[in-house]
Chain A
Protein backbone atom coordinates (compact mmCIF):
# COMPACT_ATOMS: atom_id res chain seq x y z
CA UNK A 1 0.00 0.00 0.00
CA UNK A 2 1.20 3.50 -0.78
CA UNK A 3 2.21 5.61 2.16
CA UNK A 4 0.14 8.64 2.95
CA UNK A 5 1.59 10.80 5.68
CA UNK A 6 1.01 14.28 6.99
CA UNK A 7 2.85 15.86 4.04
CA UNK A 8 0.59 14.05 1.63
CA UNK A 9 -2.54 15.31 3.36
CA UNK A 10 -1.27 18.88 3.62
CA UNK A 11 -0.44 18.94 -0.08
CA UNK A 12 -3.91 17.66 -0.99
CA UNK A 13 -5.53 20.14 1.37
CA UNK A 14 -3.75 23.16 -0.03
CA UNK A 15 -4.42 22.08 -3.57
CA UNK A 16 -8.16 21.83 -2.89
CA UNK A 17 -8.06 25.11 -0.96
CA UNK A 18 -6.30 27.00 -3.76
CA UNK A 19 -8.75 25.70 -6.35
CA UNK A 20 -11.72 26.41 -4.14
CA UNK A 21 -10.65 30.01 -3.54
CA UNK A 22 -10.04 30.49 -7.24
CA UNK A 23 -13.49 29.28 -8.12
CA UNK A 24 -15.11 31.35 -5.36
CA UNK A 25 -13.42 34.51 -6.56
CA UNK A 26 -14.65 33.89 -10.07
CA UNK A 27 -18.10 34.79 -8.76
CA UNK A 28 -17.07 38.35 -8.07
CA UNK A 29 -20.37 39.83 -6.89
CA UNK A 30 -20.97 36.91 -4.58
CA UNK A 31 -17.46 37.23 -3.19
CA UNK A 32 -17.77 40.97 -2.55
CA UNK A 33 -21.21 40.72 -0.97
CA UNK A 34 -20.18 37.93 1.38
CA UNK A 35 -17.04 39.87 2.35
CA UNK A 36 -19.14 42.94 3.20
CA UNK A 37 -21.60 40.73 5.08
CA UNK A 38 -18.77 39.23 7.06
CA UNK A 39 -17.45 42.67 8.07
CA UNK A 40 -20.88 43.82 9.20
CA UNK A 41 -21.51 40.63 11.17
CA UNK A 42 -18.32 41.25 13.12
CA UNK A 43 -19.03 44.93 13.64
CA UNK A 44 -22.56 44.30 14.87
CA UNK A 45 -21.31 41.58 17.21
CA UNK A 46 -18.82 44.03 18.63
CA UNK A 47 -21.33 46.87 18.93
CA UNK A 48 -23.78 44.78 20.93
CA UNK A 49 -20.91 43.74 23.17
CA UNK A 50 -19.87 47.36 23.61
CA UNK A 51 -23.42 48.56 24.44
CA UNK A 52 -23.73 45.86 27.06
CA UNK A 53 -20.45 46.67 28.78
CA UNK A 54 -20.78 50.44 28.61
CA UNK A 55 -23.54 50.03 31.20
CA UNK A 56 -21.75 47.47 33.33
CA UNK A 57 -18.12 48.51 33.60
CA UNK A 58 -17.32 45.41 35.56
CA UNK A 59 -19.01 42.05 35.77
CA UNK A 60 -18.35 39.88 38.76
CA UNK A 61 -14.93 41.41 39.19
CA UNK A 62 -14.06 41.24 35.50
CA UNK A 63 -13.14 44.59 33.97
CA UNK A 64 -14.10 45.84 30.52
CA UNK A 65 -10.76 45.05 28.87
CA UNK A 66 -10.58 41.64 30.44
CA UNK A 67 -13.99 40.81 29.02
CA UNK A 68 -12.87 42.26 25.71
CA UNK A 69 -9.88 39.94 25.80
CA UNK A 70 -12.23 37.02 26.42
CA UNK A 71 -14.33 38.15 23.50
CA UNK A 72 -11.32 38.33 21.16
CA UNK A 73 -10.07 35.02 22.43
CA UNK A 74 -13.37 33.32 21.65
CA UNK A 75 -13.45 34.87 18.16
CA UNK A 76 -10.02 33.50 17.31
CA UNK A 77 -10.63 30.10 18.82
CA UNK A 78 -13.89 29.74 16.90
CA UNK A 79 -12.18 30.46 13.57
CA UNK A 80 -10.82 26.97 12.79
CA UNK A 81 -14.19 25.32 13.28
CA UNK A 82 -15.76 27.91 11.03
CA UNK A 83 -13.14 27.77 8.27
CA UNK A 84 -12.06 24.16 8.21
CA UNK A 85 -15.00 22.14 9.44
CA UNK A 86 -17.91 23.96 7.89
CA UNK A 87 -18.90 20.92 5.84
CA UNK A 88 -20.19 19.37 9.09
CA UNK A 89 -23.27 21.52 8.56
CA UNK A 90 -24.07 19.72 5.31
CA UNK A 91 -23.37 16.23 6.64
CA UNK A 92 -26.99 15.70 7.58
CA UNK A 93 -28.13 16.40 4.01
CA UNK A 94 -25.54 14.09 2.46
CA UNK A 95 -26.46 11.30 4.81
CA UNK A 96 -30.18 11.79 4.38
CA UNK A 97 -30.05 11.82 0.58
CA UNK A 98 -27.56 8.96 0.38
CA UNK A 99 -24.97 11.14 -1.37
CA UNK A 100 -22.58 10.58 1.51
CA UNK A 101 -21.58 7.30 -0.11
CA UNK A 102 -19.56 9.13 -2.72
CA UNK A 103 -16.96 9.94 -0.07
CA UNK A 104 -16.47 6.27 0.80
CA UNK A 105 -14.47 5.12 -2.22
CA UNK A 106 -11.23 7.07 -1.97
CA UNK A 107 -8.04 5.58 -0.55
CA UNK A 108 -7.63 8.46 1.90
CA UNK A 109 -8.96 9.24 5.33
CA UNK A 110 -12.71 9.67 5.09
CA UNK A 111 -12.95 12.40 7.73
CA UNK A 112 -10.21 14.40 6.06
CA UNK A 113 -11.64 13.89 2.60
CA UNK A 114 -15.07 15.03 3.70
CA UNK A 115 -13.94 18.12 5.62
CA UNK A 116 -11.41 19.17 2.98
CA UNK A 117 -14.16 19.75 0.48
CA UNK A 118 -15.27 23.05 2.00
CA UNK A 119 -13.21 25.95 3.27
CA UNK A 120 -15.32 28.79 4.59
CA UNK A 121 -13.42 31.94 3.77
CA UNK A 122 -15.78 34.09 5.88
CA UNK A 123 -14.04 32.87 9.02
CA UNK A 124 -10.87 34.75 8.06
CA UNK A 125 -12.47 38.12 8.79
CA UNK A 126 -13.45 36.87 12.19
CA UNK A 127 -9.85 35.78 12.73
CA UNK A 128 -8.50 39.24 11.85
CA UNK A 129 -11.07 40.90 14.07
CA UNK A 130 -10.32 38.55 16.94
CA UNK A 131 -6.57 39.05 16.72
CA UNK A 132 -7.09 42.82 16.66
CA UNK A 133 -9.25 42.63 19.77
CA UNK A 134 -6.72 40.47 21.64
CA UNK A 135 -3.83 42.77 20.76
CA UNK A 136 -5.79 45.89 21.76
CA UNK A 137 -7.00 44.54 25.09
CA UNK A 138 -3.58 43.04 25.80
CA UNK A 139 -2.09 46.53 25.65
CA UNK A 140 -4.89 48.11 27.66
CA UNK A 141 -4.71 45.54 30.45
CA UNK A 142 -0.96 46.07 30.46
CA UNK A 143 0.03 42.44 30.14
CA UNK A 144 3.70 41.88 29.49
CA UNK A 145 4.76 40.34 26.21
CA UNK A 146 7.20 37.53 26.92
CA UNK A 147 7.85 34.42 24.79
CA UNK A 148 6.32 32.31 27.55
CA UNK A 149 3.11 34.35 27.49
CA UNK A 150 2.95 34.05 23.72
CA UNK A 151 3.39 30.28 23.85
CA UNK A 152 0.70 30.06 26.51
CA UNK A 153 -1.61 32.15 24.35
CA UNK A 154 -1.07 29.98 21.28
CA UNK A 155 -1.32 26.65 23.10
CA UNK A 156 -4.55 27.69 24.78
CA UNK A 157 -5.99 29.09 21.58
CA UNK A 158 -5.38 25.73 19.90
CA UNK A 159 -6.89 23.95 22.90
CA UNK A 160 -10.00 26.05 22.74
CA UNK A 161 -10.33 25.46 18.97
CA UNK A 162 -10.01 21.72 19.41
CA UNK A 163 -12.80 21.69 21.97
CA UNK A 164 -15.14 23.65 19.75
CA UNK A 165 -14.32 21.42 16.77
CA UNK A 166 -14.90 18.35 18.88
CA UNK A 167 -18.28 19.62 20.04
CA UNK A 168 -19.34 20.29 16.48
CA UNK A 169 -18.04 16.96 15.18
CA UNK A 170 -20.03 15.08 17.76
CA UNK A 171 -23.19 17.09 17.14
CA UNK A 172 -22.84 16.61 13.37
CA UNK A 173 -22.06 12.89 13.69
CA UNK A 174 -25.39 12.36 15.43
CA UNK A 175 -27.01 12.37 11.98
CA UNK A 176 -25.55 8.92 11.36
CA UNK A 177 -27.97 7.68 14.01
CA UNK A 178 -30.77 10.23 14.00
CA UNK A 179 -33.09 11.41 11.27
CA UNK A 180 -33.18 15.00 12.38
CA UNK A 181 -30.00 16.03 14.08
CA UNK A 182 -30.07 19.64 12.94
CA UNK A 183 -31.43 21.00 16.17
CA UNK A 184 -28.54 19.48 18.11
CA UNK A 185 -26.01 21.08 15.80
CA UNK A 186 -27.86 24.36 16.01
CA UNK A 187 -28.08 24.06 19.79
CA UNK A 188 -24.31 23.62 20.07
CA UNK A 189 -23.78 26.52 17.69
CA UNK A 190 -25.98 28.83 19.77
CA UNK A 191 -24.41 27.78 23.03
CA UNK A 192 -21.01 28.90 21.91
CA UNK A 193 -22.31 32.47 22.34
CA UNK A 194 -22.01 31.93 26.08
CA UNK A 195 -18.36 31.11 25.64
CA UNK A 196 -17.34 34.74 25.66
CA UNK A 197 -18.50 35.40 29.24
CA UNK A 198 -16.68 34.43 32.42
CA UNK A 199 -18.29 31.24 33.59
CA UNK A 200 -18.47 32.61 37.15
CA UNK A 201 -21.35 34.91 36.20
CA UNK A 202 -23.61 31.89 35.67
CA UNK A 203 -25.42 29.95 38.36
CA UNK A 204 -23.65 26.88 39.78
CA UNK A 205 -25.88 24.59 37.72
CA UNK A 206 -24.89 26.22 34.44
CA UNK A 207 -21.30 26.47 35.58
CA UNK A 208 -21.32 22.70 36.00
CA UNK A 209 -22.97 22.16 32.61
CA UNK A 210 -20.58 24.47 30.79
CA UNK A 211 -17.59 22.82 32.38
CA UNK A 212 -18.40 19.14 32.28
CA UNK A 213 -21.32 18.51 29.94
CA UNK A 214 -21.06 21.15 27.23
CA UNK A 215 -17.53 22.26 27.94
CA UNK A 216 -17.81 25.68 26.34
CA UNK A 217 -16.13 27.25 29.36
CA UNK A 218 -12.97 25.77 27.87
CA UNK A 219 -13.40 27.81 24.69
CA UNK A 220 -12.40 31.08 26.28
CA UNK A 221 -12.83 31.28 30.03
CA UNK A 222 -10.50 28.63 31.46
CA UNK A 223 -7.76 29.25 28.90
CA UNK A 224 -7.95 33.02 29.42
CA UNK A 225 -7.51 32.63 33.14
CA UNK A 226 -4.04 31.28 32.51
CA UNK A 227 -3.13 34.54 30.85
CA UNK A 228 -5.24 37.07 32.75
CA UNK A 229 -5.29 35.69 36.27
CA UNK A 230 -2.35 33.32 36.67
CA UNK A 231 -2.90 33.50 40.44
CA UNK A 232 -6.38 31.97 40.45
CA UNK A 233 -6.06 29.31 37.80
CA UNK A 234 -7.95 26.15 38.76
CA UNK A 235 -6.25 22.86 37.99
CA UNK A 236 -8.82 22.37 35.23
CA UNK A 237 -7.22 25.12 33.17
CA UNK A 238 -3.84 23.45 33.13
CA UNK A 239 -5.49 20.21 32.12
CA UNK A 240 -7.40 21.76 29.27
CA UNK A 241 -4.77 21.22 26.50
CA UNK A 242 -4.84 17.53 27.29
CA UNK A 243 -8.62 17.55 27.45
CA UNK A 244 -8.78 19.37 24.12
CA UNK A 245 -6.71 16.72 22.36
CA UNK A 246 -8.59 13.91 24.02
CA UNK A 247 -11.93 15.41 23.27
CA UNK A 248 -11.04 16.02 19.63
CA UNK A 249 -9.75 12.47 19.24
CA UNK A 250 -12.92 11.10 20.79
CA UNK A 251 -15.12 13.17 18.46
CA UNK A 252 -13.10 12.01 15.47
CA UNK A 253 -13.58 8.39 16.53
CA UNK A 254 -17.31 8.86 16.96
CA UNK A 255 -17.58 10.58 13.59
CA UNK A 256 -15.64 7.81 11.87
CA UNK A 257 -17.57 5.11 13.66
CA UNK A 258 -20.82 6.61 12.43
CA UNK A 259 -19.46 6.99 8.90
CA UNK A 260 -18.24 3.39 8.80
CA UNK A 261 -21.53 2.02 9.88
CA UNK A 262 -23.33 4.20 7.36
CA UNK A 263 -24.67 2.13 4.51
CA UNK A 264 -26.39 4.64 2.28
CA UNK A 265 -29.88 4.64 0.86
CA UNK A 266 -30.80 2.42 -2.04
CA UNK A 267 -30.21 3.75 -5.51
Chain B
Protein backbone atom coordinates (compact mmCIF):
# COMPACT_ATOMS: atom_id res chain seq x y z
CA UNK B 1 0.00 0.00 0.00
CA UNK B 2 1.18 3.51 -0.76
CA UNK B 3 2.16 5.68 2.16
CA UNK B 4 -0.25 8.34 3.31
CA UNK B 5 2.54 10.78 4.03
CA UNK B 6 5.95 10.57 2.48
CA UNK B 7 8.67 12.94 3.64
CA UNK B 8 12.04 12.73 1.97
CA UNK B 9 15.10 14.69 3.12
CA UNK B 10 13.09 17.75 3.98
CA UNK B 11 14.88 20.85 5.19
CA UNK B 12 13.32 24.20 5.99
CA UNK B 13 15.36 27.31 6.49
CA UNK B 14 14.21 30.74 7.55
CA UNK B 15 15.99 33.99 7.00
CA UNK B 16 15.97 36.01 10.18
CA UNK B 17 17.07 39.59 10.42
CA UNK B 18 19.75 40.18 13.02
CA UNK B 19 18.00 42.81 15.10
CA UNK B 20 19.93 45.46 16.90
CA UNK B 21 19.10 46.94 20.25
CA UNK B 22 17.55 50.29 21.00
CA UNK B 23 15.84 52.90 18.89
CA UNK B 24 18.96 53.60 16.86
CA UNK B 25 19.31 49.89 16.24
CA UNK B 26 15.78 49.52 14.97
CA UNK B 27 16.26 52.45 12.61
CA UNK B 28 19.35 50.75 11.23
CA UNK B 29 17.37 47.50 10.93
CA UNK B 30 15.05 49.20 8.45
CA UNK B 31 17.83 49.22 5.90
CA UNK B 32 19.77 46.23 7.12
CA UNK B 33 20.46 43.24 4.94
CA UNK B 34 22.16 41.44 7.78
CA UNK B 35 20.30 38.14 7.72
CA UNK B 36 21.19 34.89 9.35
CA UNK B 37 19.79 31.59 8.22
CA UNK B 38 18.03 29.46 10.79
CA UNK B 39 17.48 25.84 9.98
CA UNK B 40 14.15 24.92 11.61
CA UNK B 41 13.92 21.46 10.09
CA UNK B 42 17.05 19.61 9.10
CA UNK B 43 16.96 16.72 6.67
CA UNK B 44 13.95 14.81 7.97
CA UNK B 45 12.58 11.70 6.32
CA UNK B 46 9.67 9.54 7.34
CA UNK B 47 6.82 7.67 5.86
CA UNK B 48 3.45 7.29 7.51
CA UNK B 49 0.98 4.57 6.63
CA UNK B 50 -2.82 4.94 6.40
CA UNK B 51 -4.58 4.54 9.74
CA UNK B 52 -1.52 5.15 11.90
CA UNK B 53 -1.56 7.41 14.94
CA UNK B 54 1.86 8.95 15.14
CA UNK B 55 3.02 10.96 18.13
CA UNK B 56 5.20 13.80 16.93
CA UNK B 57 7.24 14.95 19.90
CA UNK B 58 9.98 17.37 20.70
CA UNK B 59 10.76 20.20 23.08
CA UNK B 60 9.45 23.71 22.36
CA UNK B 61 11.03 25.17 19.26
CA UNK B 62 12.15 21.78 17.97
CA UNK B 63 10.56 22.26 14.56
CA UNK B 64 7.30 20.37 15.08
CA UNK B 65 5.02 23.20 13.98
CA UNK B 66 7.20 23.91 10.96
CA UNK B 67 6.93 20.28 9.85
CA UNK B 68 3.15 20.33 10.33
CA UNK B 69 2.89 23.58 8.38
CA UNK B 70 4.79 21.98 5.53
CA UNK B 71 2.54 18.93 5.56
CA UNK B 72 -0.57 21.12 5.54
CA UNK B 73 0.76 23.22 2.67
CA UNK B 74 1.20 26.50 4.53
CA UNK B 75 4.97 26.41 4.14
CA UNK B 76 7.11 25.25 1.27
CA UNK B 77 10.15 23.10 2.12
CA UNK B 78 13.49 24.70 1.27
CA UNK B 79 14.75 21.38 -0.06
CA UNK B 80 13.37 17.86 -0.11
CA UNK B 81 10.02 16.41 -1.01
CA UNK B 82 6.73 15.97 0.78
CA UNK B 83 3.82 13.97 -0.58
CA UNK B 84 0.52 13.88 1.28
CA UNK B 85 -1.75 11.26 -0.26
CA UNK B 86 0.21 11.67 -3.49
CA UNK B 87 -0.12 15.49 -3.53
CA UNK B 88 2.54 18.09 -3.07
CA UNK B 89 0.81 20.11 -0.33
CA UNK B 90 2.27 23.50 -1.13
CA UNK B 91 1.60 23.28 -4.83
CA UNK B 92 -1.94 21.91 -4.47
CA UNK B 93 -3.13 23.66 -1.37
CA UNK B 94 -6.84 23.38 -2.11
CA UNK B 95 -6.67 19.74 -3.11
CA UNK B 96 -4.60 18.99 -0.02
CA UNK B 97 -7.05 20.88 2.19
CA UNK B 98 -9.83 18.49 1.16
CA UNK B 99 -7.79 15.55 2.44
CA UNK B 100 -6.82 16.93 5.80
CA UNK B 101 -8.34 18.15 9.03
CA UNK B 102 -6.43 20.39 11.40
CA UNK B 103 -6.92 21.18 15.08
CA UNK B 104 -4.84 23.65 17.02
CA UNK B 105 -5.38 23.19 20.73
CA UNK B 106 -5.70 26.87 21.47
CA UNK B 107 -7.01 28.31 18.23
CA UNK B 108 -10.54 27.42 17.35
CA UNK B 109 -11.27 27.27 13.65
CA UNK B 110 -15.01 27.33 14.14
CA UNK B 111 -17.13 30.40 13.54
CA UNK B 112 -16.97 32.19 16.83
CA UNK B 113 -20.54 33.49 16.90
CA UNK B 114 -22.31 30.49 15.42
CA UNK B 115 -23.80 27.49 17.23
CA UNK B 116 -21.87 24.31 16.52
CA UNK B 117 -24.57 22.81 14.32
CA UNK B 118 -24.43 25.84 12.01
CA UNK B 119 -20.66 25.52 11.77
CA UNK B 120 -21.17 21.87 10.83
CA UNK B 121 -23.67 22.83 8.11
CA UNK B 122 -21.25 25.41 6.72
CA UNK B 123 -18.49 22.83 6.67
CA UNK B 124 -20.86 20.44 4.93
CA UNK B 125 -21.26 23.05 2.18
CA UNK B 126 -17.61 23.98 2.03
CA UNK B 127 -16.37 20.40 1.78
CA UNK B 128 -19.42 19.39 -0.28
CA UNK B 129 -20.26 16.48 1.98
CA UNK B 130 -23.23 14.44 0.76
CA UNK B 131 -26.34 14.28 2.96
CA UNK B 132 -25.83 10.57 3.58
CA UNK B 133 -22.20 10.99 4.65
CA UNK B 134 -23.08 13.97 6.82
CA UNK B 135 -25.92 12.18 8.59
CA UNK B 136 -23.75 9.11 9.03
CA UNK B 137 -21.02 11.18 10.62
CA UNK B 138 -23.41 12.93 13.01
CA UNK B 139 -24.84 9.54 13.97
CA UNK B 140 -21.34 8.29 14.71
CA UNK B 141 -20.62 11.40 16.77
CA UNK B 142 -23.79 10.89 18.77
CA UNK B 143 -22.74 7.34 19.56
CA UNK B 144 -19.31 8.49 20.75
CA UNK B 145 -19.96 11.67 22.73
CA UNK B 146 -22.87 13.52 24.17
CA UNK B 147 -23.03 16.28 21.56
CA UNK B 148 -26.63 17.40 22.04
CA UNK B 149 -25.80 20.07 24.65
CA UNK B 150 -23.06 21.42 22.38
CA UNK B 151 -24.92 21.60 19.08
CA UNK B 152 -26.97 24.70 19.80
CA UNK B 153 -24.41 26.58 21.82
CA UNK B 154 -22.38 29.35 20.16
CA UNK B 155 -18.70 28.40 20.15
CA UNK B 156 -17.90 31.64 21.94
CA UNK B 157 -19.85 30.50 25.01
CA UNK B 158 -18.19 27.10 25.25
CA UNK B 159 -15.64 26.04 27.84
CA UNK B 160 -12.16 25.27 26.55
CA UNK B 161 -12.88 21.54 26.78
CA UNK B 162 -16.13 21.77 24.87
CA UNK B 163 -14.46 23.93 22.25
CA UNK B 164 -11.60 21.50 21.75
CA UNK B 165 -14.07 18.64 21.48
CA UNK B 166 -16.06 20.62 18.91
CA UNK B 167 -12.93 21.47 16.96
CA UNK B 168 -11.95 17.82 16.80
CA UNK B 169 -15.43 16.81 15.63
CA UNK B 170 -15.33 19.55 13.00
CA UNK B 171 -11.92 18.40 11.79
CA UNK B 172 -13.17 14.85 11.24
CA UNK B 173 -16.51 15.90 9.70
CA UNK B 174 -15.51 15.64 6.04
CA UNK B 175 -13.91 12.27 6.70
CA UNK B 176 -10.40 13.46 5.85
CA UNK B 177 -7.63 10.98 5.24
CA UNK B 178 -5.32 12.71 7.69
CA UNK B 179 -6.01 14.75 10.80
CA UNK B 180 -3.31 16.91 12.37
CA UNK B 181 -3.83 17.49 16.07
CA UNK B 182 -1.55 20.11 17.57
CA UNK B 183 -1.63 19.83 21.35
CA UNK B 184 -5.30 18.93 21.54
CA UNK B 185 -5.36 18.39 25.29
CA UNK B 186 -3.47 21.50 26.34
CA UNK B 187 -5.02 23.19 29.34
CA UNK B 188 -7.76 20.61 29.85
CA UNK B 189 -8.75 18.84 33.04
CA UNK B 190 -8.11 15.15 33.58
CA UNK B 191 -11.57 13.90 32.71
CA UNK B 192 -11.80 16.04 29.57
CA UNK B 193 -8.38 14.78 28.49
CA UNK B 194 -9.59 11.20 28.85
CA UNK B 195 -12.76 11.98 26.91
CA UNK B 196 -10.80 13.51 24.07
CA UNK B 197 -8.34 10.64 23.90
CA UNK B 198 -11.19 8.14 23.75
CA UNK B 199 -12.83 10.14 20.98
CA UNK B 200 -9.66 10.39 18.88
CA UNK B 201 -9.01 6.69 19.34
CA UNK B 202 -12.57 5.76 18.34
CA UNK B 203 -12.58 8.01 15.26
CA UNK B 204 -9.24 6.63 14.13
CA UNK B 205 -10.56 3.06 14.53
CA UNK B 206 -13.89 3.74 12.88
CA UNK B 207 -12.69 5.78 9.90
CA UNK B 208 -9.13 4.50 9.60
CA UNK B 209 -8.00 8.13 9.65
CA UNK B 210 -4.29 8.78 9.86
CA UNK B 211 -3.59 10.98 12.87
CA UNK B 212 -0.50 13.09 13.47
CA UNK B 213 -0.47 14.19 17.08
CA UNK B 214 1.91 16.71 18.57
CA UNK B 215 1.77 17.00 22.32
CA UNK B 216 3.77 17.60 25.45
CA UNK B 217 1.47 15.35 27.46
CA UNK B 218 2.85 11.84 27.67
CA UNK B 219 -0.59 10.65 28.75
CA UNK B 220 -1.78 11.39 25.20
CA UNK B 221 1.13 9.42 23.79
CA UNK B 222 0.57 6.42 26.08
CA UNK B 223 -3.15 6.36 25.35
CA UNK B 224 -3.02 6.83 21.59
CA UNK B 225 0.27 6.33 19.83
CA UNK B 226 1.92 3.13 18.77
CA UNK B 227 4.62 4.96 16.95
CA UNK B 228 6.46 8.08 17.94
CA UNK B 229 8.78 10.43 16.13
CA UNK B 230 10.96 12.73 18.19
CA UNK B 231 12.76 15.74 16.80
CA UNK B 232 14.95 18.33 18.42
CA UNK B 233 16.69 21.34 16.92
CA UNK B 234 15.21 20.31 13.59
CA UNK B 235 16.89 16.92 13.57
CA UNK B 236 15.13 13.61 13.84
CA UNK B 237 16.14 11.80 17.01
CA UNK B 238 13.85 8.82 17.07
CA UNK B 239 11.28 7.14 14.84
CA UNK B 240 10.01 3.82 16.05
CA UNK B 241 7.40 1.91 18.06
CA UNK B 242 6.56 2.83 21.62
CA UNK B 243 7.78 -0.59 22.82
CA UNK B 244 11.22 0.06 21.40
CA UNK B 245 11.36 3.39 23.13
CA UNK B 246 11.57 1.96 26.61
CA UNK B 247 14.27 -0.49 25.65
CA UNK B 248 16.15 2.26 23.96
CA UNK B 249 18.33 3.20 26.87
CA UNK B 250 18.57 -0.30 28.27
CA UNK B 251 15.75 -1.91 30.17
CA UNK B 252 15.46 0.31 33.17
CA UNK B 253 13.19 -0.42 36.09
CA UNK B 254 13.18 1.20 39.47
CA UNK B 255 13.30 -1.12 42.46
CA UNK B 256 12.18 0.48 45.69
CA UNK B 257 12.79 -1.15 49.02
CA UNK B 258 12.09 -0.16 52.60
CA UNK B 259 14.62 -1.40 55.14
CA UNK B 260 14.82 -1.34 58.94
CA UNK B 261 16.35 1.68 60.63
CA UNK B 262 17.86 4.75 59.06
CA UNK B 263 17.24 4.79 55.32
CA UNK B 264 20.24 6.96 54.49
CA UNK B 265 22.57 4.48 56.14
CA UNK B 266 20.77 1.58 54.52
CA UNK B 267 21.10 3.25 51.14
CA UNK B 268 24.86 3.47 51.53
CA UNK B 269 25.12 -0.18 52.44
CA UNK B 270 22.89 -1.21 49.58
CA UNK B 271 24.94 0.91 47.23
CA UNK B 272 28.03 -0.98 48.32
CA UNK B 273 26.19 -4.22 47.63
CA UNK B 274 25.07 -3.27 44.10
CA UNK B 275 27.77 -0.83 42.97
CA UNK B 276 26.77 -0.97 39.30
CA UNK B 277 23.44 0.87 39.85
CA UNK B 278 22.62 4.33 41.17
CA UNK B 279 20.92 4.28 44.57
CA UNK B 280 18.85 7.07 46.09
CA UNK B 281 16.99 7.44 49.32
CA UNK B 282 14.03 9.62 50.23
CA UNK B 283 11.86 9.70 53.37
CA UNK B 284 10.13 6.42 52.62
CA UNK B 285 12.04 4.41 50.10
CA UNK B 286 15.49 3.46 48.92
CA UNK B 287 15.30 3.34 45.14
CA UNK B 288 17.68 1.47 42.88
CA UNK B 289 17.60 2.18 39.14
CA UNK B 290 18.22 -1.29 37.73
CA UNK B 291 19.52 -1.75 34.19
CA UNK B 292 18.12 -5.17 33.35
CA UNK B 293 20.59 -5.72 30.57
CA UNK B 294 23.24 -5.98 33.31
CA UNK B 295 21.37 -7.97 35.95
CA UNK B 296 17.77 -8.84 36.68
CA UNK B 297 15.64 -7.14 39.27
CA UNK B 298 15.10 -10.43 41.12
CA UNK B 299 18.83 -10.96 41.29
CA UNK B 300 19.38 -7.51 42.75
CA UNK B 301 16.57 -8.02 45.22
CA UNK B 302 18.09 -11.37 46.23
CA UNK B 303 21.48 -9.82 46.79
CA UNK B 304 20.04 -7.09 48.98
CA UNK B 305 17.79 -9.45 50.87
CA UNK B 306 20.68 -11.72 51.77
CA UNK B 307 22.23 -8.85 53.78
CA UNK B 308 19.27 -6.81 55.01
CA UNK B 309 15.82 -7.52 56.21
CA UNK B 310 13.41 -5.78 53.81
CA UNK B 311 10.05 -4.64 55.16
CA UNK B 312 8.42 -3.72 51.90
CA UNK B 313 9.20 -3.37 48.22
CA UNK B 314 7.85 -1.80 45.01
CA UNK B 315 8.75 -2.17 41.39
CA UNK B 316 8.27 0.71 38.96
CA UNK B 317 8.46 0.67 35.20
CA UNK B 318 10.26 3.67 33.83
CA UNK B 319 7.59 6.04 32.47
CA UNK B 320 7.42 7.32 28.92
CA UNK B 321 7.81 10.77 30.38
CA UNK B 322 11.16 9.87 31.90
CA UNK B 323 12.42 8.31 28.70
CA UNK B 324 11.38 11.31 26.63
CA UNK B 325 12.95 13.63 29.16
CA UNK B 326 16.15 11.63 28.90
CA UNK B 327 16.10 11.87 25.10
CA UNK B 328 15.44 15.63 25.19
CA UNK B 329 18.23 16.18 27.68
CA UNK B 330 20.86 13.76 26.54
CA UNK B 331 19.94 13.00 22.96
CA UNK B 332 20.31 9.58 21.47
CA UNK B 333 23.69 8.11 22.16
Interface residues of A (CB under 8 A from B): 1-2, 8, 11-12, 15-16, 19-20, 23-24, 98-99, 101-102, 104-108, 117, 262-264, 266-267
Query: How distant is the Cα of A73 from the Cα of B111 in the complex, in angstroms?
Result: 34
A99 to B108, CA, bound (A): 9
A-contacting residues, B81-137, CB 8 Å: 93-95, 97-98, 100, 102, 104, 106-109, 111, 113-114, 118, 121-122, 125-128
- Decide if B126 touches A107 in the complex (CB within 8 Å): yes
For residue B43, give the distance in angstroms from its CB to the closest CB of chain A: 20
How many of B's residues come within 8 Å of A, CB to CB? 33
| Residue pair A117, B97 in contact (C-beta under 8 Å) | no
- Out of A2, A117, A267, name the residue touching B98 (CB < 8 Å): A2
Task: Determine the chain B residues whose CB is within 8 A of the CB of A19 once the complex forms.
Answer: 111, 113-114, 118, 122
Question: Do residues A15 and B125 form an inter-chain contact, with CB atoms below 8 A?
Answer: yes
Judging by beta carbons under 8 Å apart, are A99 and B126 in contact? no
CB of B75 within 8 A of chain A?
Answer: yes
Partner of B107, one of A1, A2, A102, A107: A102
Chain B 286-312 near chain A by CB (<8 Å), digits 1 or 0: 000000000000000000000000000
Q: Tell me, yes or no, whether B154 is within 8 Å of chain A by CB.
A: yes
- A101-B104, A263-B75 given; 15 more Cβ-contact pairs under 8 Å: A11-B125, A12-B122, A15-B121, A16-B122, A19-B111, A104-B72, A104-B73, A104-B74, A105-B102, A117-B111, A263-B69, A264-B74, A267-B106, A267-B107, A267-B183
> Which residue of chain B has its CB nearest to the CB of A105?
B102
User: What's the Cα separation between A12 and B126 when bound, in Å?
Assistant: 7
List the B residue with the shortest CB-CB distance to A102: B109
What is the distance, in angstroms, from A180's C-beta to the closest C-beta of chain B? 12
- Flag if A16 contacts B97 (CB, 8 Å): no
Q: Is there an interface contact between A101 and B125, defined as CB atoms closer than 8 Å?
A: no
CB distance from A79 to the nearest CB of B (A): 22
B104 and A1 contact, CB distance less than 8 A: no
List of B residues within 8 angstroms of A104 by Cβ: 72-74, 93
Q: How long is the Cα–Cα vector from A56 to B122 in the complex, in angstroms?
A: 54
CA of A98 to CA of B74, assembled, Å: 13
- A23–B113 touching, CB < 8 Å: yes
Specify which chain B residues have a CB less than 8 angstroms from the CB of A105 in the assembled complex. Answer: 72, 74, 97, 100, 102, 109
CB-defined contacts of B118 to chain A, threshold 8 Å: 19
Most chain B CB within 10 A, of A102, A107, A266, is at: A107
